[in-house]
Amino acid sequence: MVAAASELLRAKGFDAVSVAEVANAVGLTHGGFYNHFASKDDLAAQALADAWASMSAHRSRAGKLPQLLAAYLSPKARDAPGKGCPAAALAGDVRRQPHPVRHAFATGLEEMINSLEGQLAGDPATRRTRAVALATRMIGALLLSRSVPDDEPLARELLSANLEMALSDMDA
């Protein structure tokens, strides 16, 4: 149920997913929901943590940084928000969520930054700063690309321009 919610929330956002919808997704009716979770917010916090966990697992399978960036900033990733990065899917919503949800978000984001930092070469003194900036670029590009209508060239350009810049930054 947490896994189903995690995908639905990323695909549609917190408010657009109902308790009944999540329950139905695992073959239940809405009434039994409260045998498992204290509230919808409780589920949201758990689902967000779960999404970050599966994102982290995916990251360790993705190989080296250039391959990870190319996969992250791809049209395929753009078109599958439900299975993709929780930050790109929910960063805009999370500002209006209760504290446990925001905290789960921040924890996952911090882990993502740490993971990127570990894959960066170059001057160790600037690694953390570059990792924060790289995470921002990845998440921002995917999120903005999704916010623009699919048929506008800008949607592709946001991915390609940021991929190019991210790859060239990496060497510096």
Partner DNA sequence: TGTACATCAGTGAACGCGCGTTCACTGATGTAC
Q: Which residues bind to a copy of itself, rule: CB under 8 A? A: 12-13, 15-16, 81, 87, 90-96, 99, 102-103, 105-106, 109-110, 113, 128-130, 132-133, 135-137, 139-141, 143-144, 146-149, 152, 154, 157-158, 161-162, 164-165
Contact 48, 87 (CB under 8 A): no
Q: Which does 30 bind (CB under 5 to 8 A by kind): a copy of itself, DNA, none?
A: DNA
Candidates 4, 5, 23, 141; binder of DNA (CB under 7 A) is: 23
User: CA 28 to CA 21: how far, in whole Å?
Assistant: 9
Q: How far is the CB of 165 from a copy of itself (least distance, A)?
A: 4
Determine the Cα–Cα distance for residues 69 and 166; give it in Å rounded to an integer.
Answer: 8
**Cα distance between residue 92 and residue 94, in whole Å:** 6
57 binds, among a copy of itself, DNA, none (CB under 5 to 8 A by kind): none
Q: What is the DSSP letter of 31?
A: G
> Residues 13, 65: contact at Cβ < 8 Å?
no
33 makes contact with DNA (CB under 7 A): yes
Q: Which of 46/162 has CB closer to a copy of itself?
A: 162
To the nearest 10°, report the CA torsion of 135, 9, 142, 62: 60
The least CB distance from residue 59 to a copy of itself, in Å, is 18
Q: Taking the complex as a whole, how short is the minimal distance between the CB of residue 28 and a copy of itself, in angstroms? A: 26
Nearest to 134 by CA among 162, 102, 106: 162
The window from 20-28, 115-123, 149-157, 162-170 that contacts DNA (CB under 7 A) reads 20-28
Is-contact 5 18, C-beta < 8 A? no
Tokens 């600037």 belong to residue: 126
Instruction: Write out the residues near DNA by the rule CB under 7 A.
Output: 17-21, 23, 27-36, 39-41
